[in-house]
Structure 1
Amino acid sequence: MTKHISNIPSWSMVIILALLVGFSSCKSKKKLTKSSDAPIVTTTQEVEPIEEPEEKPEVEPVEKVLSKEEKLTNYFNAVATSSSTASANASIEEALTMFGRPDAPVLIVIYKDGSEAGYDEPTTIDNYLHYLKDTKNNKAVIEEIVYDDNGQIKELVLKK
């Protein structure tokens, strides 16, 4: 057997050993092809830094300023849909700050015949808010608001 190996030229032995070592060190052909597929890029040019766009200062969203009518409607809904008596009472107290006095009259239109309107029995804003709390029903919409000289509501007309 020694004779048989000695007949192979020495340079071919080196190639065979190199191939054996090369293939035994590779774990898979897949890794070998991946590394050989990646292009090697070398440049001697100076790379200019990429300028990021200037950061614009964040614009805070403009809060919509609610009209007094919208605020009052929100209070009516909060009282009618409150989950507890305590939260309903808190909403009632806040709503009453919009009125000049807690006994400000509230008129409720129940029907209209042309230019004449029929009203339910007059009540006060305090009684009406407690009615909303008890019935949990807010079907009336604001038809007219009368303000005093201080900007407080002095009379309210609702429509069912």
Structure 2
Amino acid sequence: MMSNRITTRVSMWALVALLLVAGAGCKSKKSAMGVTDPAAEKARMEQEAALRKQQEAEEQRKREMEEQARKEEERRKAEAPYRKLENYFAAISGTSSVAAANGSINEALTLFASKDTPVLIVISEANGQKDYDRPTTIGEYLNYLKDQKKNINKISHLEFDASGKITEVELVKNQ
């Protein structure tokens, strides 16, 4: 009976020792897993930094593209009255029918604050100083285009009032 008891105690101690060794082994494996290779850690950090840098570059490109699109849209909106007025000038000077020309003149006049809006025609420019032909009004200029059947000037500058109507036209002779 004593030998049975001793065997049981020895078995018990052996089991406890085995569990302690196994537990210590697991702990050392866990700590070994937690301690990383410095080269691997450095590579991981460099990879994360490169990824952040790439994401920042993509965001910057996206912001630049949005800004460029916004500026392009503003430019198109600003050029729209110029193109529209140039089209009216071409339609008035290019039509063979007086009635069609008068219709285009009436449509074009809706762009202006009044039919007495001044039209200034630059005949020369030197050192920032402009020489103008005799001033006229938009009504007279549109009728001039209708009579002459040719548009020899291009729009240089338009001024607008608060309601978006044209209050002044500056033309430059085509060269």
CA distance in 2, matches of 1:146, 1:67: 13
2:95 matched to 1:82? Answer: yes
SS at match of 1:141: strand
Q: CA deviation at 1:99?
A: 0.2
CA distance in 1, matches of 2:96, 2:149: 10
Q: Which has a greater percent of helix?
A: 2
TM-score under structure 1 length normalisation: 0.59
In the other structure, the counterpart of 1:97 is 110
Structure 1: any 5+ residue segments left out of the alignment? 1-63
State the identity as a percent.
47
2:119 matched to 1:106? Answer: yes
1:78-102 CA-to-partner distances (Å, cap 9, x unmatched) read 0000111000000000000000100
CA distance in 1, matches of 2:91, 2:108: 10
Q: CA deviation at 1:114?
A: 1.8
2:156 matched to 1:156? Answer: no
In the other structure, the counterpart of 1:145 is 158
Structure 2: any 5+ residue segments left out of the alignment? 1-75
CA distance in 1, matches of 2:140, 2:117: 10
Q: CA deviation at 1:137?
A: 1.1
SS at match of 1:76: helix
1:9-54 CA-to-partner distances (Å, cap 9, x unmatched) read xxxxxxxxxxxxxxxxxxxxxxxxxxxxxxxxxxxxxxxxxxxxxx
One-letter amino acid of the counterpart of residue 154, structure 1: T
SS at match of 1:67: helix
One-letter amino acid of the counterpart of residue 140, structure 1: N
CA distance in 2, matches of 1:72, 1:124: 15
SS at match of 2:125: strand
In the other structure, the counterpart of 2:132 is 119
SS at match of 1:149: coil
Could you list the structure 1 runs, at least 4 aligned residues long, displaced by more than 4 angstroms after superposition: none
TM-score under structure 2 length normalisation: 0.54
RMSD: 1.4
Q: CA deviation at 1:76?
A: 0.2
Q: CA deviation at 1:113?
A: 1.1
